[in-house]
Amino acid sequence: MKENVLIPKPNSSFLNIQCSKCEETSIIYSHTTSNIYCKSCNELLAEKSGGKAKINGNIVSALD
């Protein structure tokens, strides 16, 4: 008889981020390896940190 094997969920996800300066939304990866800037005003949205990115904008939602 087989037991149910739980599959772990990843710690990373895609985030819908709103720029605090111009309020434009962008979709970024939570563990990004490069700095992410806003497309319209060039404001820093996410800063690389070696693991989980430091988010400078407002997190609107997490995409599954």
User: Is 5 among the domain residues?
Assistant: no
The reported pLDDT for the residue numbered 34 is 93
DSSP state of 40: T
Q: How far is CA 29 from the centre of its chain?
A: 4
User: Is 63 among the domain residues?
Assistant: no
Tell me the pLDDT of the chain (64 aa) as tens digits: 567 778 888 889 999 999 999 989 999 999 999 999 999 999 999 999 988 999 998 999 998 7
In the chain, DSSP finds a helix count (H) and a strand count (E) of 0, 6
The reported pLDDT for the residue numbered 2 is 61
User: Is 62 among the domain residues?
Assistant: no
The token duo for 21 is 């300066």
The reported pLDDT for the residue numbered 31 is 93
CATH code of residue 18:
2.20.25.100
Domain extent at residue 35? 14-55
Give how far Cα 29 sits from Cα of 1, 37, 44, 52, Å: 40, 13, 14, 9
